[in-house]
Amino acid sequence: MGERNEYAPGTFCWVDLGTVDPGEAKAFYVDLFGWDAVDIALPDGGTYTTFFLDGRDVAALHGPVAGPPAWLSYISVTDVDAIAEQARAAGANSVQGPFDVFDAGRMAVIEDPTGAHVAAWQPQRIIGARLVNVAAALCLNQLNTSDPARAERFYRDVFGWAIEQVATGDQEYWGISNEGRLNGGMMPLPPGAGAPSHWLAYFATDGLDAAATRAGELGGQVVVPPMPVPGGRIAVALDPHGAVFALLEGRLDP
């Protein structure tokens, strides 16, 4: 369950964290999730750390970065150059790249029209995560956006996603499907939230309360305490440097 050898185009495949202090961030996530870590020195003097769970790569971090620390979600594509052009035509605020990442793959970073950043990944040697949807691995990517209607048009046009509203009322929510399979979620930012639009990475856990408590003990901050959602419970936290991530306990896709 959860092992991956390939990703259909348009599927979320990877997340990595850009952080101001790679050493401290690595210690936080290794303790929280029980990951193993392998560091690679980068030509610019920084570090790229890949995290492994049961011998399979699940996520990474790099730094130090100049901007605010943040997790970046990656979408697998067959032609990143074409996707970058489609993103520009569909109204992307900016597109960085495309550029080669050694022999691992080719990527571009896209700022969607609502301000959220996401990466398009054309795999070569590296497909992305080899393990998802199990405890301590990536299990969901959710767009928190200032303009759901505009975001829906953009991602439909660029990646061909089907986006359907599944909850209304006090908390609106949209499910994102790719080729008929659930691929993520979308919700509006609360009025006056003060946060920019962003993709939120969820990691699965078998013990949400213990994980949320441990995140605080390690220097993080729980900003949304454990709460029920359809299919389980979630919490949202900041790591010690302010990068936001979420935890999910409950039903997971295969």
Mean pLDDT of the chain: 96
Mean pLDDT over residues 132-153, rounded?
98
Residue 118 sits in the same domain as residue 154: no
Residue 101 sits in the same domain as residue 176: no
What domain count does the chain have? 2
Among residues 62, 89, 123, the one where a domain terminates is 123
Share of the chain above pLDDT 90, in %: 90
Share of the chain above pLDDT 70, in %: 100
Q: What pLDDT shows up at residue 121?
A: 98
Mean pLDDT over residues 170-182, rounded?
93
Residue-wise pLDDT tens digits, 92-107:
999 999 999 999 999 9
Structural domain harbouring 28: 12-123
Inside any domain, residue 81: yes
Residue-wise pLDDT tens digits, 38-67:
999 888 788 899 999 999 999 999 999 998
pLDDT of 140 strictly over 80 = yes
Mean pLDDT over residues 140-156, rounded?
98
Residue 70 sits in the same domain as residue 151: no
- The span from the CA of 251 to the CA of 133, in Å, is 9
pLDDT of 221 strictly over 70 = yes
Calculated CA dihedral for residues 213, 245, 145, 88, nearest 10 degrees:
180
Among residues 67, 95, 123, the one where a domain terminates is 123
In angstroms, the Cα distances linking 138 to 13, 156, 246 are: 9, 23, 10
Paired tokens of 187: 């919700």
Inside any domain, residue 7: no
Do residues 107 and 80 make contact, with C-beta atoms less than 8 angstroms apart? Answer: yes
- The span from the CA of 147 to the CA of 20, in Å, is 29
CATH, residue 81:
3.10.180.10
Residue-wise pLDDT tens digits, 3-14:
999 999 999 999
Q: What pLDDT shows up at residue 1?
A: 67
What lies within 8 Å, CB to CB, of 158 at 6+ separation is 83, 86, 87, 90, 92, 110
pLDDT of 169 strictly over 80 = no
Residue-wise pLDDT tens digits, 65-91:
998 999 999 999 999 999 999 999 999
Residue 19 sits in the same domain as residue 93: yes
Paired tokens of 160: 């061909």
pTM of the full predicted structure? 0.97
Among residues 62, 94, 123, the one where a domain terminates is 123
Lowest mean pLDDT among 31-35, 45-49, 163-167, 196-200: 45-49
Residue 100 sits in the same domain as residue 156: no
